[in-house]
């Protein structure tokens, strides 16, 4: 991806509020790395289907995984076109008029066709990217996949070459005529917050909560 | 929607982990009311497109809105099939094996065809539902839409008659063989957290932060 260059595909250009579009790899990568859940869209029997999914990133590739018999991983492995959208909710924007209410957000859309990863080393790498995306450092401690787990799972690679970001930030964009209204206006910031870790009942007492969980912050 | 009855459409049945499926209106409504952003999937020129969007709910209907000239609201107004997916991220699930790592979440999928709302009163009601979903109480204080704003906006109604929920909660589901591993396992709970309201620079000093923002909690 070239920095800030407009993408070649018109589908990737942000048309509503073009000033919110961003096409540089740094912006796209940062949003993908911070968010947790992707919404994966595909077509099944002429119907759009959108499912939430975990993912990982390595450079300019996304990795997705699913049961080898799940509908969506089968469709994607067959070469069906896909749209992966990732959205971070950053706040509520309260304007003086109901109409100008908005949300602050950062989103990425990725279009393309995923490749089924068949080579064993890349499959392991893709799964590791997904776990490391959720909990950096975790793959060094947890047991790696065994043969049965590997066989039952499809790992899919989706290039970020057809991706763009859209970012809305800042306060309300009220009409000037509304400025004098005696109503509060502004932003209520939002972000993902994490609570106290809940250990599984069977964790031996000598095993402490690891730093990558007790200090977890994204 | 009948309580817990399996839906007539096979597309709505949760096939992976069927025990996580929920088909009652109460579960579906609660998830829709708590979440903020929907991911709206539609087909454009044989390509799936997934966009983040605000929404509101009134009974068994969702309301969506968009610029009257936006691609997605045009496609939906034309009667294109749609899939609206809403996901709440509830936590990271750390298992003893990388493979069993998961997320706790609550999601809703809605399939159907949206209706373009042309009647003025319902259009105003749909827009009010969207604002009230984001900030309950807000529509009593902010200026209602004027004619120009109404004309430039499409409001779409989508029935929840074809909807289902999927919920994952609780700790890791490790293989028994992994129980003895000396690695921490459990859940890191997550939820949306809200920060300190940031007033717009032009809000008069006599206008205080309203209770529906200072006490905002979902």
Q: What is the ipTM of this complex?
A: 0.94
Distance between B2 CA and the closest CA of chain A, angstroms? 23
How far apart CA A144 and CA B77 sit, in angstroms, is 48
Q: Return the domain boundaries, chain B.
A: 16-170+202-214
A 114-133 → B contacts, CB under 8 A: 127-128, 131
The pLDDT of residue A14: 87
Any bridge partners for residue B157, and if so which?
B63, B115
How far apart CA B40 and CA B85 sit, in angstroms, is 6
Q: Does B112 touch chain A (CB under 8 A)?
A: no
Q: Does A82 touch chain B (CB under 8 A)?
A: yes
Q: Which two tokens stand for residue A5?
A: 């260059």
Q: Which residues of B90-124 are buried (b: 16+ CB within 10 A; e: fewer)?
A: bbbbbbbbbbbbbbbbbbbbbbbebbbbeeeebbb
Which chain B residue lies closest to A199 (C-alpha atoms)? Answer: B186
Q: B186-194 and A186-194 as β-strands: parallel, antiparallel, unpaired?
A: antiparallel
In the A/B pair of chains, how many CB contacts fall below 8 A? 289
Cβ pair B85:A178 closer than 8 A: no
Q: Does B89 touch chain A (CB under 8 A)?
A: yes
The pLDDT of residue A3: 47
The pLDDT of residue A218: 67
Highest-confidence range of A64-78, A144-158, B10-24, by mean pLDDT? Answer: A144-158
The pLDDT of residue B134: 96
Nearest CB to A186; choose among B138, B146, B200: B200
What is the rounded average pLDDT for all residues in chain A? Answer: 93
Neighbours of B37 (CB within 10 A): 18
Q: Is B135 helix (H, G, I), strand (E, B) or coil?
A: coil
What topology does CATH give the domain B16-170+202-214?
Pnp Oxidase; Chain A (2.30.110)
Q: How confident is the model over A105-115, as pLDDT tens digits?
A: 999 999 999 99
Which one has a higher pLDDT value, A215 or A46?
A46
Q: Does A170 touch chain B (CB under 8 A)?
A: no
Q: Which residues of A116-155 are buried (b: 16+ CB within 10 A; e: fewer)?
A: bbeeeebbbbbbbbbbbbbbeebbebbbebeeebbeebbb
**Which residues in chain A have Cβ-Cβ distances shorter than 8 Å to B128?**
98
Residue A11 DSSP class: G
Report the range of poorest mean pLDDT among A25-29, A208-212, B162-166, B191-195. Answer: A208-212
Q: Is the pLDDT of residue A157 over 80?
A: yes
The stretches in chain B having pLDDT less than 70 are 1-6, 218
Q: Is the pLDDT of residue A49 over 90?
A: yes
Q: Is the pLDDT of residue A177 over 90?
A: yes
Q: A6 pLDDT band (50/70/90 cuts)?
A: low
- By CB atoms closer than 10 A (0-12, 13-18, 19+), residue A206 is exposed
Cβ pair A98:B194 closer than 8 A: no
Q: How confident is the model over B121-173, as pLDDT tens digits?
A: 999 999 999 999 999 999 999 999 999 999 999 999 999 999 999 999 999 99
Which helix (H) or strand (E) segment holds residue A148: the answer is helix A147-151
The arithmetic mean of pLDDT across residues A97-102, rounded, is 96
The arithmetic mean of pLDDT across residues A171-189, rounded, is 95
CATH hierarchy code of domain A18-170+204-214: 2.30.110.10
Q: A10 pLDDT band (50/70/90 cuts)?
A: confident
């Amino acid at each position: 991806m070239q920095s800030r260059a407009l993408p070649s595909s018109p589908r990737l250009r942000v048309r509503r509020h073009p000033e919110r579009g961003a096409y540089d790899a740094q912006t796209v990568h940062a949003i993908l790395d911070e968010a947790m859940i992707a919404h994966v869209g595909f077509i099944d029997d002429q119907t759009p289907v959108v499912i939430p999914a975990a993912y990982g990133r390595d450079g300019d590739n996304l990795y997705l995984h699913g049961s080898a018999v799940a509908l969506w991983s089968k469709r994607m492995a067959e070469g069906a076109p896909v749209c992966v959208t990732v959205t971070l909710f950053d706040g509520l924007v309260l304007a003086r008029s109901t109409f100008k209410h908005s949300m602050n957000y950062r989103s990425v859309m990725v279009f393309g066709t995923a490749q089924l990863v068949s080579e064993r080393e890349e499959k392991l790498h893709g799964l590791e990217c997904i776990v490391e995306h959720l909990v950096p450092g975790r793959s060094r401690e947890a047991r790696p996949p065994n043969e049965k787990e590997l066989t039952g799972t499809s790992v899919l690679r989706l290039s970020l070459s057809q991706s763009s970001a859209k970012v809305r930030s800042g306060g309300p964009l009220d009409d000037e005529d509304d400025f004098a209204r005696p109503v509060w206006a502004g932003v209520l910031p939002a972000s993902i917050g994490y609570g106290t870790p809940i250990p599984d009942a069977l964790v031996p007492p000598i095993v402490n909560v690891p730093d990558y969980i007790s200090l977890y912050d994204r």
